[in-house]
Structure 1
Amino acid sequence: MLYPKRTKFRKYQKGRCKGCKADGTQLCFGKYGIKSCEAGRISYQAIEAARRAISRKFRRNSKIWVRVFADIPITSKPAEVRMGKGKGNTKGWIARVLKGQILFEMDCVSLSNAQQAATLAAHKLGLSIKFFKWS
């Protein structure tokens, strides 16, 4: 599971995911990348599921970089609990993703394999994404 060892606060406010990413839109490590086409939230389970799908497609002799990290806690109250009495307990972790942000980078693989892996990862993530290559 990907989540931080410690945070400044135990619970955060929800916040909004809107706008475009100013930095983090260029490939830094690999030849191929997966970029988000819309803003939203991705859970730590979705990030890990997409990473596993990509690595299973490539088997060995490949490099994968995950460029997003789930660092914001999500809280929820238990079922059948009355209103009030404070905010609920931490249920999971999310990453806020803006439009144009790179999610994954890949290297040491062929173009067709990278495109197929991006399709597999797109099914795991809850956002629309775009596959692109270094130019």
Structure 2
Amino acid sequence: MFSLPSARSLFAACRPSTSLLSYVSTPLTTPVGFARFRSQLAPRRVKYIKRHKGVLPVPTGGATKGTTLAFGDYGIRVKGNGKRITAKQLETVEEMLKKKLKSIKGAKVYMRIFPDIPVCIKGNETRMGKGKGSFEFWATRVAPGRVLFEIGGVPIREELARDALRLANAKLPTINEFITRSSPPRLGNMLITPEPPAQASTEATS
């Protein structure tokens, strides 16, 4: 005699596997052909991998946020026009600063920007149309006056900080300046100097 299969076994046979369900329900968060490693600067999740080119953020409203030091004692910020900085350039500068400050125990490097803008490029001599180009690399847009890198954590001699940040400036496509804790904020290409306090009049009233 043949035994009929139970309802539980039939349900288990017809139910799809958990690996298939996880594959179908997981959205595409990284571009095709791109593998993010632990040492790479790239966002963990993105909703749309292709974006418009956009324009550089120019602080026309008078905001000075991000133009002064927040973590370290010395840093560099954009002095001229803003540009687009790639993730590879930021990685190179960060590795160079860490290597330069390796002899100082407790010294830290703070990166104030992060590459979260995908850049898509089409091949040379390509006809117009046919959609947007394929993903190439991550980048970020920096405005004039934006702080890029800071160093601190422990007391560092100013001469050593200037030398390290000078080497970092040579590897960036922007024109930067060396700043300290006492440097005033910058609004575009204009420094915002604090106004002196008003002196109370000491004239004697008759």
**TM-score between the two structures when normalised by the length of structure 2:** 0.62
Residues 8-54 of structure 1, C-alpha deviation per residue, up to 9 Å, x if partnerless?
A: 32111111115236311121111111111131110001111111111
Equivalent residue number for residue 41 of structure 1: 84
Tell whether 2:109 aligns with 1:64.
Answer: yes
The alignment-based identity, stated in percent, is: 36
Give, in whole Å, the separation in 1 of the partners of 2:178 and 2:46: 32
The counterpart of 2:98, out of the listed 50, 55, 58, is: 55
Equivalent residue number for residue 15 of structure 1: 54
Give, in whole Å, the separation in 1 of the partners of 2:147 and 2:58: 15
Mind listing any 5+ residue stretches in structure 1 that lack a counterpart? Answer: none
Give, in whole Å, the separation in 2 of the partners of 1:83 and 1:26: 44
Equivalent residue number for residue 144 of structure 2: 99
The counterpart of 1:116, out of the listed 151, 158, 163, is: 163
Give, in whole Å, the separation in 1 of the partners of 2:100 and 2:158: 13
Give, in whole Å, the separation in 2 of the partners of 1:100 and 1:68: 13
Give the CA RMSD over aligned residues. Answer: 1.5
Mind listing any 5+ residue stretches in structure 2 that lack a counterpart? Answer: 1-39, 183-206
Between structure 1 and structure 2, the one with the greater Rg is 2
More strand by share: 1
Residues 79-120 of structure 1, C-alpha deviation per residue, up to 9 Å, x if partnerless?
A: 454332100111001111001111011112211111011111
What SS does structure 1 have at the residue aligned with 2:90? helix
Give, in whole Å, the separation in 1 of the partners of 2:175 and 2:76: 10
**TM-score between the two structures when normalised by the length of structure 1:** 0.92
- Quick one: higher RCO (CA 8 Å, sep 6+), 1 or 2? 1
What SS does structure 2 have at the residue aligned with 1:46? helix
Query: Structure 1 stretch 41-50 or stretch 79-88: which is displaced more?
Result: 79-88
What one-letter code is carried by the residue in structure 2 that aligns with 1:75?
C
Give, in whole Å, the separation in 1 of the partners of 2:54 and 2:43: 19
Query: Structure 1 stretch 95-104 or stretch 13-22: which is displaced more?
Result: 13-22
Give, in whole Å, the separation in 2 of the partners of 1:117 and 1:125: 13
Tell whether 2:27 aligns with 1:2.
Answer: no
Query: Structure 1 stretch 97-106 or stretch 53-62: which is displaced more?
Result: 53-62
